[in-house]
């Protein structure tokens, strides 16, 4: 059984949030854009003063559950974990407007999950620019809609995940027994990351490293022992930078809080076999890198994630896992389903 922890979905359409809110910056799906191939749609962002800016072209597998199910069947994926497209986080917007949009997106994800409860699990989105509203929507999404947790960004308008204003949200997720999937967005780098798709290829892995550093060195996992966190794209650059990070921590302890621990304290303990204290998905596009994260986290903390339906994802989810020869059947099952189920499990 394969469960894909990292997939994105949107409704086919939703009301014009630019008209509704009275300001620009919102995303919409243009189904009749002349520049777009038949059957596809163009994701665009409204501009102040009118008009739109191109974001990306998308196919029906983004919004049509029927198409998704066909493709899942064709690639041997039993279930997908659905989360919104990170551009919908809308942390730049007025909180109430983002909250209204998130309610609509969460209702949609819940509806798709209810129609096919064996095939889809859902993660919510919440307006993190207002932590109180965010907690309220997380409660509703989990308790009323039956979603398993939430997808959040790697920062909120420049505040890293260790910022004190965000702690109540993480604490609330732990209290609700809701998992938290951390997906990079609003990538750093500005104009220097304009070329060569660098926001996605360099910015995203760096964002995820910042998020993991912030969580670990602030002691959030010690403060919230029940919090379940998973970082997208196999933890970004963190696994490859771990040696440098540890060395830096050891030689300049003065730059870290007194209670901070060596990051390996949160990773798999090879001697006892105790797995890492947090999850990552399996999306590396590189067998050696995947073997490395399995070594660091343990098979029960690496969950198959494909980034479906986007081009940077793994076309046949789980194919790279299947190429790793040194795994037992049980370890393979961890990677393809049990790690995800443990992350999603409530109660």
**How many angstroms separate the Cα of 149 from the Cα of each of 37, 165, 192, 294?**
35, 20, 34, 24
State in angstroms the smallest separation of the CB of 234 from Co ion. Answer: 12
Of the two residues 130 and 307, which places its CB atom closer to Co ion in the complex?
307
State in angstroms the smallest separation of the CB of 6 from Co ion. Answer: 6
State in angstroms the smallest separation of the CB of 42 from Co ion. Answer: 19
Of the two residues 186 and 307, which places its CB atom closer to Co ion in the complex?
307
Distance of CA 133 to the CA centre of its chain: 20
Q: What is the widest separation between alpha-carbon atoms in the chain?
A: 61
Of the two residues 82 and 216, which places its CB atom closer to Co ion in the complex?
82
State in angstroms the smallest separation of the CB of 110 from Co ion. Answer: 20
Nearest residue relative to Co ion (C-beta): 307
Task: Identify whether the C-beta of residue 146 lies closer than 8 Å to the C-beta of residue 110.
Answer: yes
Which residues, at least 6 apart from 81, have a Cβ–Cβ distance to it below 8 Å? 3, 4, 5, 6, 7, 120, 121, 122, 123, 148, 181, 340, 344
Cα–Cα distance measured from residue 338 to residue 282, given in angstroms and rounded to the nearest whole number: 13
Of the two residues 85 and 176, which places its CB atom closer to Co ion in the complex?
85
What is residue 240's three-state secondary structure?
Answer: helix
State in angstroms the smallest separation of the CB of 307 from Co ion. Answer: 4
State in angstroms the smallest separation of the CB of 80 from Co ion. Answer: 12
Of the two residues 86 and 239, which places its CB atom closer to Co ion in the complex?
86
From 303, 309, 308, select the one nearest 276 (Cα to Cα).
303
Site residues (vs Co ion, CB under 5 A): 307
Of the two residues 97 and 307, which places its CB atom closer to Co ion in the complex?
307
State in angstroms the smallest separation of the CB of 81 from Co ion. Answer: 11
What is residue 83's three-state secondary structure?
Answer: strand
**Number of other residues whose CB lies within 10 A of the CB of residue 87:** 16
151 phi/psi in degrees, rounded to 5: -105, 125
Of the two residues 85 and 112, which places its CB atom closer to Co ion in the complex?
85
Of the two residues 184 and 275, which places its CB atom closer to Co ion in the complex?
184
Distance of CA 308 to the CA centre of its chain: 12
Number of H helices, E strands in the chain: 13, 13
State in angstroms the smallest separation of the CB of 77 from Co ion. Answer: 15
Cα–Cα distance measured from residue 24 to residue 26, given in angstroms and rounded to the nearest whole number: 6
Cα–Cα distance measured from residue 181 to residue 244, given in angstroms and rounded to the nearest whole number: 25
């Amino acid at each position: 059984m394969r469960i894909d922890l990292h997939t994105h979905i949107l409704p086919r359409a939703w009301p014009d949030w630019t008209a509704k809110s009275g300001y620009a910056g919102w995303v919409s799906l243009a189904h009749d854009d002349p520049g777009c191939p038949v059957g596809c749609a163009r994701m665009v962002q409204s501009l102040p003063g009118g008009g739109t800016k191109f974001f990306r072209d998308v196919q029906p597998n983004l919004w049509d559950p029927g198409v998704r199910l066909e493709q899942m069947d064709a690639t041997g994926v039993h279930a997908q974990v659905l989360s919104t497209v990170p551009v919908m986080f809308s942390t730049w917007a007025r909180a109430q407007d983002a909250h209204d949009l998130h309610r609509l997106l969460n209702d949609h994800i819940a509806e798709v999950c209810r129609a096919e409860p064996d095939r889809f699990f859902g993660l919510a989105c919440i307006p993190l620019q207002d932590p109180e509203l965010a907690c309220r929507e997380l409660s509703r999404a989990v308790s009323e809609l039956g979603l398993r947790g939430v997808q959040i960004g790697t920062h909120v308008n420049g505040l890293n995940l260790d910022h004190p204003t965000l702690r109540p949200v993480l604490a609330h997720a732990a209290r609700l027994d809701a998992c938290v999937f951390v997906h990079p967005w609003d990538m750093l780098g500005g104009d220097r990351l304009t070329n060569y798709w660098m926001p996605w290829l360099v910015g995203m892995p760096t964002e995820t490293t910042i998020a993991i550093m912030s969580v670990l060195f602030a002691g959030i996992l010690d403060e919230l022992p029940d919090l379940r966190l998973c970082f997208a794209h196999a933890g970004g650059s963190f696994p490859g930078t771990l040696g440098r990070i540890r060395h830096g921590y050891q030689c300049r302890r003065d730059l870290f809080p007194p209670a901070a621990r060596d990051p390996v304290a949160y990773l798999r303990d090879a001697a006892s076999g105790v797995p890492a204290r947090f999850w990552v998905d399996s999306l590396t596009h590189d067998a050696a890198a995947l073997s490395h994260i399995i070594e660091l986290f343990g098979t029960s903390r690496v969950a198959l994630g494909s980034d479906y339906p986007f081009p940077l994802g793994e076309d046949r989810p789980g194919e790279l896992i299947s190429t790793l020869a040194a795994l037992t059947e049980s370890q393979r099952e961890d990677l393809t389903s049990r790690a995800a189920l443990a992350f999603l499990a409530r109660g």
